[in-house]
C-alpha cells in the first residue's frame, strides 16, 4: 500500500459486531441519494438554515426539509431552532469524511482524481 493512501487511516481492530455492520449499511442507504450527498457537502462548511441549504443544493425548501428529517433520524445531521428558523449542522465529522471519500472514489473511477493533483498555477 502506498504511503499517501494511509493518511489518517484507522483500521478496525478485530471482528466487527453485526449490529455495526447493519448500521453501516443503513448509513450507506441514507446517503445513496444525490440530494442528501449534496446536503452533507453543503454542511461541511458549518451550520446553515434550511433555505440556504435549499439554494446550495438547488432544491425546494420543502424537499430539502424532508431529506434533512431523514438525515436527522439517521443521526447524520443535528438541528437547532432559532425563532422560526431551523439550522442544521453535521452531527459529527464521520459522515462528511464518508461523503468526501465517496467523491474521491468516484473521481478515481472516472480516472480524474483531482485530490491527487497539485495546483501548478
State pLDDT tens for residues 33-65.
999 999 999 999 999 999 999 999 999 999 999
Q: State the total domains in the chain.
A: 1
Compute and round to an integer the Cα radius of gyration of the chain. Answer: 17
In a domain, 59, yes or no: yes
> pLDDT at position 2, please?
42
Please write the tens of the pLDDT for every residue from 51-106: 999 999 999 999 999 999 999 999 999 999 999 999 999 999 998 999 999 998 88
Q: Which domain holds residue 34?
A: 17-113
In a domain, 3, yes or no: no
pTM: 0.79
CATH assignment of the domain containing 25? 1.10.10.10
In a domain, 2, yes or no: no
CB neighbourhood size of 94 (10 A): 11
Amino acid at each position: 500500500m502506498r504511503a499517501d493512501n494511509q493518511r489518517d487511516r484507522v483500521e478496525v481492530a478485530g471482528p466487527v459486531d453485526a449490529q455495526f455492520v447493519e448500521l453501516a449499511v443503513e448509513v450507506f442507504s441514507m446517503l445513496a441519494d444525490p440530494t442528501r450527498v449534496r446536503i452533507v457537502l453543503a454542511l461541511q462548511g458549518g451550520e446553515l438554515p434550511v433555505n440556504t441549504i435549499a439554494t446550495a443544493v438547488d432544491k425546494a425548501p420543502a424537499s430539502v426539509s424532508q431529506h434533512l428529517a431523514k438525515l436527522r433520524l439517521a443521526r447524520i445531521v443535528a438541528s437547532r431552532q432559532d425563532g422560526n428558523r431551523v439550522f442544521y449542522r453535521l452531527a459529527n465529522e464521520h459522515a462528511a469524511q464518508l461523503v468526501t471519500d465517496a467523491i474521491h472514489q468516484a473521481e478515481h473511477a472516472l480516472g480524474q482524481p483531482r485530490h491527487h493533483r497539485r495546483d501548478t498555477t
